[in-house]
Structure 1
Amino acid sequence: MNREITYQAALAVAETIETHFVQHLREARARGEKGLAPEPHAKVIAAMIDTAFWASLRKEEGHSPKISLAFLPPEKAQRPLVFEQRLPLSSFILTKLAPGVERAGIHLGVWYEGENLYIWGTMHEITNFCFVLDVSEPGLLVIKHRRLGGFGKFNNVAVLKGDQVKVVDETSASLPDCPAVLSSLLGFAAASSWNDSVNVLVQMAVSMRAHGRGGTLLVVPSGKEDWRGSIMHPIQYAIAPAFSELADLMRQDVSVRSRSKWQTALVQAIDNIAGLTAIDGATVITDQYELLAFGAKIVRATDSAQVEEMTFTEPVIGGEAMVVSPSQSGGTRHLSAAQFVYDQQDALALVASQDGRFTIFSWSPCENRVHAHRVDALLL
């Protein structure tokens, strides 16, 4: 692409992103996968990022654009909406189109002829490993691709915010004590298992983050009551009997799960529980997805010590593990979640901050301490 790139982060990350897609597409072809997207070249990646970044800083009638670009020719798309006349890929055009394509699931199709990139139309469905570039807010871009199987959250590859670039470190999933939910976010769960309990937690995390009010979700072992020793009593919003709408959906036969009716019901059930996390206090569910309580106040368990330190990591390239005080990872929610996992070592705590940060707290037997995994770069 013979165009000047003025957003330097685009140049810095383009080759790394190209390598990611080339590698995954090569592996997918070796597995016999069909219907794969074309490989995006570094020049294309840099040009798309550059254009999207400058578009993100513009406004149309007072609104910042929210756009999703997919690098795919129209003949590879399913039931595309194709413009009669191609539009040049420019920040001006993207800003003008943004109000009509900002709803979730709509992608602007981008392709090239010679040295020129153009917008050819829109689509809802894209092929596996298609390069997708989301403009989330001014100066914030997310590079991702569709999860194999097509249902659920896309896999994030990199996040660019101003001059800050975070490239997801996929090797994080192979580290000892990596929670299954983090492995799923990193894209290591098999496509056939996207609807299993681990991956439902991913969708729960996305929904929690989306409401923007912050919240805590505690996941405790089914059939055990130990968690109650870390909660203030009486629990104002305890549920009896446990609410099992989501659990009942997950018990249905696997053959039902590809149906749109089941998937719609699943999303609604997840959003119902995630919405409760906006209420002050923690929402408590079992690992079988039965709702036990919401608005619960976490307290230190009887005879337990105060949690003094924990391991903190972020699954991005260059992110190093640190041993920190729980107070350094956030506010009251983070401190209470760390204490809960310290006391209830077979539980998980998912914490969303109002500013968009998201942390998964788990117990690490290898390190014999609480491990805080900051994963907001994977949830955008």
Structure 2
Amino acid sequence: MKNAKPQDLAVLLQNKLKLTKSKFPVPELMVLEKLLDCLFYVSMCKEESDLVKVTVTLIDPANPDPHPPKKPVAERWSCVSFEQPIPMTTKALAKLSKAADPCSTTLAVYYQGEELYIWGMIDQAMHYQNFLNYESETDSEQPGLFQVSVNDIGTLNVLFNYELLATLKQDTLVQRYLDVLTIGPISKILKSNADFLKSAFREYLEQTYPEEAFRDWQDFLDNLWIQTFSRLLLKIQSYQHGGAILIHQDGADLDIKYKIHYKRLTLAMIAHAKASVDLYILEKRISADLKSRKQTLSKDLYLSGSATLHLKKGTADEISGAISFIASQTCVDGVVLFDENMVSNGFGAVLRSKRMPKKIYRSGTATATAKSLSPADPKHYGTRHRSMIAYCWNHAKSLGLVISQDGEIRVFSKIDDKLIMWENIKIQQYVKDKKHQNKLPY
């Protein structure tokens, strides 16, 4: 939706709340409009020279935890109340944002009549963020009715647990992000690039666990590859510098300022996949050992399990380190180059292709069906985008990604005789399923 306002997001939010099974009353539209208006204005403020970033949760102070689990996990959220509630104003939010980093904290807000107030702070938000960003394999329960995050100037994200309802970007309301990394031609290209990982894993499986069927592990390997790539894009976004990635098969039309050959990311993924199957097999053996020994475990299996678990964690940390190493290279002007095996071959590269298509096609779906394509003028875009468009147009097997300073990601690839562009790309682990819907505390 173009020319959208916070009021349009408020209508969408209220409609969602009405459909959600909740014992708590749905806020009046005026309350939601005031909430989103305040957050929209605070997104344009600065506090101590920094743009404001903050997340708020609508949660009732009279009953913040209506259905606590019998055995809560150690890292479960908790609310800390202020001695006196604070009227929710742009100034108050901006001031409190310095003490409420969205990576660790959310602000608890509620309403009385049509007036909003901030009544406390909620901790342990890092576990939620880690799951969204593929840094954790386990999700965490979320409090309240919904969360609203301020991530950039004029940008609001509304989330229900792990479901992204919509994003307001200045005057554009985005209700659907394209899952091009798991569906459609871009996903097909990326998964075919995982053949190096699959080949190494298949060989290890045949030599070490011949009883295991490789086909049972293919989805795991595809997800590992795609999630690692998603994490790389998220890390690049976090620098707010902008950057570009080119996955190519030849070195033509490239001027590489800093040539390197860095394959640790791929090797770390292979090591992590091996450690994962090791741990899986060992857990099956431990389960069988416990049954045969009547709930006792042999010392050798215990020590082997501890060592394997430690190894898997180490390989996960290695992947994180390699991602950070590569992502930081995008802060140098130019393109980061990958071959099809996710091996980095240089950064600060200049794309020399000049011949441009007369028009490109913007895809409204991940699958880029004919009906979803709309023509666009490549001259409408900036230098970084145009150089990527020209290169992908002249090198059909290339895949280009441009990350703007505001975090917008656009993907380019030549499909048949068309240069297609995808935007509003889904890279976080937003989930919409019954498993998470049933976890809603209200």
Same fold (TM over 0.5): yes
Alpha carbons of structure 1 residues 327 and 105: separation in structure 2 relative to 1, 3 Å: farther
Q: Is the 8 A contact 2:401 2:410 kept in 1?
A: yes
Q: Is the 8 A contact 1:166 1:377 kept in 2?
A: no
Aligned to 2:403: 352
Alpha carbons of structure 1 residues 131 and 325: separation in structure 2 relative to 1, 3 Å: same
Higher relative contact order, structure no. (Cα contacts within 8 Å, ≥ 6 residues apart): 2
Q: Is the 8 A contact 2:178 2:424 kept in 1?
A: no
Aligned to 1:123: 123
Equivalent residue in structure 1 for 2:329, among 266, 276, 287: 276
Pairwise CA distance, 1:283: 1.0
- Secondary structure at 2:241 match in 1: coil
Q: What do residues 33-81 of structure 1 show as CA deviations (whole Å, max 9, x unaligned)?
A: xxx9x99757354342122223334554555432111334642692325
Pairwise CA distance, 1:351: 1.0
Q: What do residues 266-285 of structure 1 show as CA deviations (whole Å, max 9, x unaligned)?
A: 33322221211222332112
Q: Distance in 2 between matches of 1:296 and 1:328?
A: 23
Give the TM-score taking structure 2 as reference length.
Answer: 0.60
Matches within 5 A, 1:159-170: 159-161=168-170, 164-169=171-176
- Secondary structure at 1:228 match in 2: coil
Equivalent residue in structure 2 for 1:237, among 255, 258, 268: 258
Q: Distance in 2 between matches of 1:195 and 1:370?
A: 27
Matched, 1:158 2:211: no
Matches within 5 A, 1:36-51: 43=29, 45-51=32-38
Matches within 5 A, 1:198-347: 198-220=226-248, 226-232=249-255, 235-239=256-260, 242-251=261-270, 252-253=272-273, 254=276, 264-300=317-353, 306-313=356-363, 321-331=373-383, 333-347=384-398
Q: Is the 8 A contact 1:10 1:46 kept in 2?
A: yes
Q: Distance in 2 between matches of 1:259 and 1:51?
A: 45
Q: Is the 8 A contact 1:15 1:42 kept in 2?
A: no
Q: Is the 8 A contact 2:155 2:167 kept in 1?
A: no
Alpha carbons of structure 1 residues 326 and 115: separation in structure 2 relative to 1, 3 Å: closer
Alpha carbons of structure 1 residues 352 and 176: separation in structure 2 relative to 1, 3 Å: closer
Matched, 1:68 2:68: no
Aligned to 1:142: 157
2:359 maps to amino acid: E
Alpha carbons of structure 1 residues 166 and 371: separation in structure 2 relative to 1, 3 Å: same
Alpha carbons of structure 1 residues 230 and 59: separation in structure 2 relative to 1, 3 Å: closer
Mean Cα deviation higher: 263-272 or 197-206 = 263-272
Unaligned runs of 5+ in 1: 1-7, 27-35, 149-154, 184-190, 221-225
Q: What do residues 176-230 of structure 1 show as CA deviations (whole Å, max 9, x unaligned)?
A: 946339x9xxxxxxx988962223222222322332333221123xxxxx42124
Q: Distance in 2 between matches of 1:69 and 1:17?
A: 15
Alpha carbons of structure 1 residues 99 and 236: separation in structure 2 relative to 1, 3 Å: closer
Alpha carbons of structure 1 residues 219 and 144: separation in structure 2 relative to 1, 3 Å: farther
Alpha carbons of structure 1 residues 245 and 354: separation in structure 2 relative to 1, 3 Å: same
Aligned to 1:53: 40
Q: Is the 8 A contact 2:152 2:406 kept in 1?
A: no
Aligned to 2:369: none
Aligned to 1:371: 420
Matched, 1:97 2:96: yes
Alpha carbons of structure 1 residues 377 and 174: separation in structure 2 relative to 1, 3 Å: closer
- Secondary structure at 1:199 match in 2: helix
Q: Distance in 2 between matches of 1:40 and 1:217?
A: 44
Q: Distance in 2 between matches of 1:259 and 1:42?
A: 49
Cα-Cα RMSD: 4.4
Alpha carbons of structure 1 residues 79 and 141: separation in structure 2 relative to 1, 3 Å: closer
Q: Distance in 1 between matches of 2:38 and 2:419?
A: 42
Alpha carbons of structure 1 residues 20 and 361: separation in structure 2 relative to 1, 3 Å: farther
Q: What do residues 110-165 of structure 1 show as CA deviations (whole Å, max 9, x unaligned)?
A: 345776654321223353697321223453323345648xxxxxx5721242xx13
1:139 maps to amino acid: G
Aligned to 1:362: 413
Calculate percent identity across the aligned residue pairs: 18
Matched, 1:10 2:6: yes
Pairwise CA distance, 1:292: 1.7
Q: Give the number of the structure whose residues are more often helix, by fraction.
A: 2
Aligned to 1:3: none
Choose 1 or 2 for highest CA Rg: 2
2:225 maps to amino acid: S
